[in-house]
Structure 1
Amino acid sequence: MKKKKWLLSFLIISLFVAGCTDQGEPVKVTKSMNRVVSDYILTYNKDLSEQVDQQFEAHKIYGARKKDNGIIEVYLYYLYEEFKRDKETEVDGGSVLACVKLKKVDDNYKVVGFKEAEDGSKSTDSIKEMFPKEYAEQATDINNQQAITKVLQKRIDKQVAKWREQ
């Protein structure tokens, strides 16, 4: 009887540990995956403000994991801004940590899920729930996030300058 209880306990614990440690297999994000992510972020935010002339985004990908079901989860931080041609500064925008879920369909990728981290006091907990541990640690490091924001802002500034020259 003791052997059966021990075996049953071992199986339950093993299943629980296996379920909790399924972080997925690391995946390299390709140019086509990156393009799909950018396009989705722009589309997702397009109605943030009314009557804007152009929208821009730049993002930092912390990493990506392929799950057993074939879905690729991309963990990232993005900066998004909207502009009107007659204004010098952005009309609206924001920066968010997010998880984009991609599925390969033929030779392309399709977004099948998107979740942004909560803001305020729930931010850190929601990031830890969404991101694997090593990416969550990077994403919640305020110094790292400030440095990344500066880099992303420079990318957007270049896009805006090019757009204004047209």
Structure 2
Amino acid sequence: MKVTSFILGIAILASLFIFFRPSSTIDGDEQVTEEMNNVISNYIQDKYKREDTPSSKTFEVHKVYGTEEIDGIISLYLYTQYGEYEGDELIQGHSYPVRIRLEKSGSSYTVTEYTKPESGYYYPSSIEDMFPKKYARKALKDTGNVHDLSEQMDNKVKDWLAESKK
């Protein structure tokens, strides 16, 4: 009886460890390397660039709320702003919170998952499902209020326009 109880106890603890793995959540972009930022930006630009506008230029900026690593997969909780420009004219763009999962293979990273919020009525609850609570609150607060990202985007576009005139 004691052996059975002991084995049952070990099985329960093992199950709890499997289902409630400890994660290393880190606030901000402390864990995010320049390479990871580039992979994120390139992925988003490639995903949304229109094929019918070959002369356009795409830009992406983002703000990282935090990261979490579980079993070698890094989840990044961020707010992204994307824009595609013909000269100084914005032809398409978006701005919203996303969760991106990266996997490191060798010395490079690959995006394994990209999740954006649902629109309309389900927008808040989908962010709460995607993000840890503390990051969801920040993302919901930032919705429609990301002036710092808009300023970064404007600077990238201005720099590109200045370079293209040389």
**Shorter-chain TM-score tier:** 0.7 to 0.9
CA drift at 1:138: 1.0
Aligned to 2:127: 127
2:154 to 151, 157, 161: 157
Following the alignment from structure 2 to structure 1, what is the Cα–Cα distance between the partners of residues 21 and 124?
21
Q: Which segment is superposed worse, 23-32 or 152-161? A: 23-32
Aligned to 2:77: 75
Question: Cα RMSD between the aligned structures?
Answer: 2.7
Aligned to 2:63: 60
Following the alignment from structure 1 to structure 2, what is the Cα–Cα distance between the partners of residues 108 and 67?
18
Normalising by structure 2, we get a TM-score of 0.79
C-alpha distance 17-139 of structure 1, shift in aligned 2 (>3 A): farther
Following the alignment from structure 1 to structure 2, what is the Cα–Cα distance between the partners of residues 163 and 126?
35
Cα contact 2:96–2:143 (8 A) shared by 1: no
Please tell me the residue identity of whatever aligns with 2:64: I
Q: Which runs of 5+ in 2 are unaligned?
A: none
Following the alignment from structure 1 to structure 2, what is the Cα–Cα distance between the partners of residues 153 and 53?
19
Aligned to 2:143: 145
CA drift at 1:84: 0.8
Following the alignment from structure 2 to structure 1, what is the Cα–Cα distance between the partners of residues 14 and 105?
34
Normalising by structure 1, we get a TM-score of 0.79
Question: Tell me, what secondary structure is at the counterpart of 1:79?
Answer: strand
Q: Is it true that 1:96 corresponds to 2:96 in the alignment?
A: yes
Percent of pairs with identical residues? 31
> Of Structure 1 and Structure 2, which has the larger fraction of its residues in strand?
2
Question: Tell me, what secondary structure is at the counterpart of 1:91?
Answer: strand
Per-residue CA deviation, residues 11-69 of structure 1 (Å, 9 max, x unaligned), is 879957973x557212511111111111111111112x73151111111111110013x
Per-residue CA deviation, residues 63-103 of structure 1 (Å, 9 max, x unaligned), is 110013x1111111111111112xx4311111121111100
C-alpha distance 23-44 of structure 1, shift in aligned 2 (>3 A): farther
* Number of aligned residue pairs: 154
Please tell me the residue identity of whatever aligns with 2:49: K
Q: Which runs of 5+ in 1 are unaligned?
A: none
Question: Tell me, what secondary structure is at the counterpart of 1:90?
Answer: strand
Q: Is it true that 1:30 corresponds to 2:33 in the alignment?
A: yes
4+ runs deviating over 2 angstroms: 11-19, 21-24, 144-147
Question: Tell me, what secondary structure is at the counterpart of 2:89?
Answer: coil
Per-residue CA deviation, residues 90-126 of structure 1 (Å, 9 max, x unaligned), is 1111112111110011011111111111111111111
Please tell me the residue identity of whatever aligns with 1:58: V
Cα contact 1:59–1:76 (8 A) shared by 2: yes
